[in-house]
Structures are given as structure tokens and as C-alpha cells.
């Protein structure tokens, strides 16, 4: 049990560190949606709470989904993009296939946020970040600030996901070398 907690803590620290070090061209702020849609963050939390109440493992899945998004070319929501004729997305990358989940919860959050805001103003990248934060907090972890104002990716890269994400066979000592 202690090893599981230590692994979860290390994973959490990596996610927070990763998301805070990613360069962006936009100025991110904690109050980005306060004026355009003050109901956005409560809507995200409400759907995350409902999903975790139905299946407690979903909290970890949403955190992992955010991590897998951020680890490939930054926190841009690219993991949510389906394949198109122009690119193969990240969903079918080796570290993601049959592994990352929670896409349906993100879809539910997006619908709830768009309804609360009466239009689409919140990026999917920000939804992923806030859903991960809320998951941690709902499952008795800390409530940390999330910088908002990310823009959604318009493409994704299967090759970058395969190259940048740690494979599922990595053990923590292997990944930290």
C-alpha cells in the first residue's frame, strides 16, 4: 500500500512539474474564464464528481489522460483528437492503446461546460487540466491552482506519442534514468 501511495505521489509530482514547465505563447492565468464563463469550473467539477462517484478509478484515469496529453508536445488536448486524413492521432500510440480512458467523461464535461457557458469558450486542453486537478482533490488530494487559457491543438502525432510517452512496460527506476 505504501508503494502504491509513493508511486501515485511521484506520478502526481511529474504531472504538475510537466504542466508547469511547458512553454506557451499565451499568457495563462488562474482566472481566465472568470468573466466569459464563471460557471465553467464548477461545471467541470460537477461532472468529474459524478464520474468518480460512479467509478472511483475514473479519477486516476482522468489524471493519467492529462499526463499523456501533456507529455506529447505540451498540454494542448491533442490526445482527444481522432485520426483524420491529414494525421494519425495519439489515441492508438502504443502507450495509449487499451490504456488511457476517460474520453467519454471529457465529452460529458465539454457538453456540460458548453451548456453552462451557452457557447464553446473553454478549451479541451483546459478541461483536461481542470478535470485532472479536480480528480486529485475529490479523491482526498490537494487542491492546487491551474493556469488556464490553453489553446486546443489542431493536429496530433502518433509518432510523437510513441516516441515521447514512457511505454507501459517501463518500471519507475527505468523511466528515471
Does 152 show up as a binding residue in the annotation?
no
What are the percentages of helix, strand and coil residues in the chain, rounded to 5? 55, 0, 45
Instruction: Please pick, among 64, 68, 91, 133, the residue that the annotation labels catalytic.
Output: 68
Q: What is the DSSP letter of 80?
A: G
pLDDT at residue number 43? 98
Distance CA 51, CA 131 (A): 11
Does 23 show up as a binding residue in the annotation?
no
Reading the chain (177 residues) residue by residue, the pLDDT tens digits are: 444 444 444 445 445 544 444 444 569 999 999 999 999 999 999 999 999 999 999 999 999 999 999 999 999 999 999 999 999 999 999 999 988 999 999 999 999 999 999 999 999 999 999 999 999 999 999 999 999 999 999 999 999 999 999 877 788 775 555
Q: Where are the domains of the chain?
A: 37-166
Does 55 show up as a binding residue in the annotation?
no
Q: What is the DSSP letter of 25?
A: S
Does 95 show up as a binding residue in the annotation?
no
pLDDT at residue number 98? 87
Measured from the Cβ of residue 51, the count of other Cβ atoms closer than 10 Å reads 23
pLDDT at residue number 20? 46
pLDDT at residue number 36? 96
First and final C-alpha spacing in the chain: 25
Does 99 show up as a binding residue in the annotation?
no
Residue 66 annotated to the active site: no
pLDDT at residue number 173? 72
- CATH node for 37-166: 1.10.520.10
pLDDT at residue number 94? 92
Does 121 show up as a binding residue in the annotation?
no
Amino acid at each position: 500500500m505504501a508503494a502504491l501511495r509513493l508511486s501515485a505521489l511521484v506520478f502526481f509530482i511529474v504531472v504538475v512539474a510537466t504542466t508547469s514547465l511547458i512553454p506557451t505563447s499565451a499568457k495563462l492565468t488562474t482566472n481566465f474564464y472568470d468573466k466569459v464563463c464563471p460557471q465553467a469550473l464548477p461545471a467541470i467539477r460537477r461532472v468529474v464528481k459524478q464520474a468518480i462517484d460512479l467509478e472511483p478509478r475514473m479519477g486516476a484515469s482522468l489524471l493519467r489522460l492529462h499526463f499523456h496529453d501533456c507529455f506529447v508536445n505540451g498540454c494542448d488536448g491533442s490526445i482527444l483528437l481522432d485520426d483524420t486524413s491529414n494525421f494519425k492521432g495519439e489515441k492508438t500510440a502504443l502507450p495509449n492503446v487499451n490504456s488511457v480512458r476517460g474520453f467519454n467523461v471529457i465529452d460529458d464535461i465539454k457538453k456540460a461546460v458548453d451548456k453552462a457557458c451557452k457557447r464553446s469558450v473553454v478549451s479541451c486542453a483546459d478541461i483536461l487540466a481542470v478535470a485532472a486537478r479536480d480528480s486529485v482533490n475529490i479523491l482526498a488530494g490537494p487542491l492546487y491552482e491551474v493556469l488556464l487559457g490553453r489553446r486546443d491543438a489542431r493536429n496530433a502525432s502518433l509518432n510523437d506519442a510513441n516516441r515521447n510517452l514512457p511505454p507501459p512496460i517501463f518500471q519507475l527506476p527505468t523511466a528515471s534514468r
